[in-house]
Amino acid sequence: MQTQFVLDDVVTVLGPDGVADPATDPKLPGETVVRLFKHMLLTRMVDERLVLLQRQGRIGFHIGSLGEEACILGPAAALGDDDWLWPCYREFGALLLRGMPLQTYLDNMYGNANDAVKGRQMPDHYSGRPYKFGSVSSPIGTQMTQAVGFSWAAKMKGDKSVSLVFFGEGATSSSEFHNAMNFAGVYKTPTVFLCRNNGWAISVPAGQQTGSQTFAQKGFAYGVTPVRVDGNDLLAMIKVTRDAIERGRRGEGPTLIEALTHRLSGHSTSDDPKAYRNEAEMTAERAKDPIPRMRAHVVALGLWDDAQEKAWAEQVEADIKRAVETAEKTPAPALHTMFEDVYATQPWHLVEQQAEAERAPRPAGHGGGH
């Protein structure tokens, strides 16, 4: 019998009108649905404010998730407390959902003295061990092999935790994708590969990344279960991720999820999408924005109205303003912090170098005023 290597089915729960299909609806409690919708709004508002801050020269860089909130927050919501998430670089909304305070995230964006990574990474290169959230890394695809290694270790220890890793469709062209998928398929690691197919790897269209009809079907070659899903449908993202997690916990191995979504902005604040995308395409994609679709759902359930949204937006606006003000008042990391976190006991030559650096004159405002 010939195996079918092309996936035509795309899992969907919500119609354009926000009505859920009872056959695929994950049937979340009402309070959970509202909480996730509020996080979608929070993520969008933080995104928009960070772009403005970058344009004003107050932060150096931002890489957002405008239009991709559903395919980021849905999988994060499906994870258990002991599961690990390995980000690409658009997943700050998932980090906030998993518990990182907004202030902590904003401190990272400014790289100030309260930044968990002490200003050593560029903005939006966050991490959070307390939230079981790996570190963003600029090289393409490295998080995939890290996630597989982590989930393999969990399997060897008899730990039932699962690792979920995000990446864009462009990362499937990296060697890390092959290495991670092959290893996961051979050893049946409890790994969920979440490919956000937004159609563009910066300015390179998806059609120039692969000759296959879908990205999900690449799973067949590695013995990895493939799934395609409407990435603008929050409930569908939760359903397929839950299914993948359950397969992993049962020892049935990894899953490759291709989430079909749209990027409603540039790749980052350093990118101008007008140079390679036409306005007609962008207009069509805006019509598929996941937030109005989810709003229609919570309104139809009788769980949300304009007054609630206004109150929530005002609260979020105040929270963002307060966090930005605090981050901007916080000084830069002290000079001595650049010598920390490498050795358990600092070797003699670094002790000498630190002392020399701290004695040397420095411009006011740099390195804690030294």
Residues forming a β-bridge with 192: 164, 255
Q: Judge if 233 and 364 occupy the same domain.
A: no
Residue 310's alpha-carbon distances to 38, 101, 258, 302, in angstroms, are: 11, 22, 34, 16
- In-domain check, residue 23: no
345 and 247 in a common domain: no
Structure tokens at 35: 């909480």
Residue 4 lies in a domain: no
Give the separation between CA 170 and CA 314, rounded to whole angstroms.
37
User: Is 295 annotated as catalytic?
Assistant: no
Percent of residues, the chain, with pLDDT higher than 70: 96
Residues 266 and 299 in one domain: yes
- CA distances (Å), 103 to each of 58, 63, 112, 269, 364, in order? 16, 18, 11, 21, 26
Map residue 42 onto helix, strand or coil.
helix
Residue 15 inside a domain? The answer is: no
Q: Which two tokens stand for residue 94?
A: 């998932």
In a shared domain, residues 290 and 361: no
Q: What is the pLDDT of residues 226-265, one digit of tens each?
A: 999 999 999 999 999 999 999 999 999 999 999 999 999 9
39-65 confidence digits (pLDDT tens)? 999 999 999 999 999 999 999 999 999
- Examine the domain organization and report whether 316 and 346 are in the same domain: no
Q: Is 89 a catalytic residue?
A: no
Catalytic residue among 35, 276, 286, 322: 276
Among residues 46, 28, 154, 157, which one has the least CA distance to residue 91?
46
366 labelled catalytic = no
348 and 305 together in one domain = no
Structural domains of the chain, count? 2
Residue 339 belongs to domain spanning? 334-370
Same domain for 120 and 251, yes or no, is yes
In a domain, 14, yes or no: no
- Region 167-181: mean pLDDT is 96
Q: Tell me which residue of 180, 176, 173, 164 sits closest to 237, measured CA to CA.
A: 164
Strand 191-197 vs strand 84-86: parallel, antiparallel, or unpaired? unpaired
- The one catalytic residue in 62, 90, 228, 267 is 267
With cut-offs at 50, 70 and 90, classify the pLDDT of residue 370.
very low
Is 189 part of a structural domain of the chain? yes
179 and 74 fall within a common domain: yes
Q: How far is CA 346 from CA 71, 339, 340, 353, in A?
A: 43, 8, 8, 11
Catalytic residue among 49, 62, 242, 263: 263
pLDDT in tens, 261-294: 999 999 999 998 889 988 888 888 889 999 999 9
Task: Give the model confidence (pLDDT) of 96-140 as tens digits.
Answer: 999 999 999 999 999 999 999 899 988 999 999 999 999 998 899
Domain assignment present for 19: no
Domain match, 129 and 277 both: yes
Q: Which residue has the tokens 């927050």?
A: 73
Same domain, 306 and 286: yes
* Any domain includes 79: yes
CA–CA dist 30, 281 (Å, integer): 35
Query: Whose CA is closest to 264, among 64, 10, 49?
Result: 64
β-partners of residue 355 are none
Task: Give the bridge partners for 165, in sequence order.
Answer: 86, 193
**DSSP letter assigned to residue 332:** P
Q: What pLDDT score was predicted for residue 7?
A: 65
Shared-domain flag, residues 168 and 202:
yes
24 part of a folded domain: no
Predicted pLDDT at 1: 32
From CA 241, how far away is CA 74, in angstroms rounded?
A: 8
CATH number, domain at 322?
3.40.50.970
Residues belonging to the chain: 370
Same domain for 240 and 256, yes or no, is yes
- Contacts by residues 53-57 (CB-CB < 8 Å, ≥ 24 positions apart): 53/109, 53/324, 54/269, 55/269
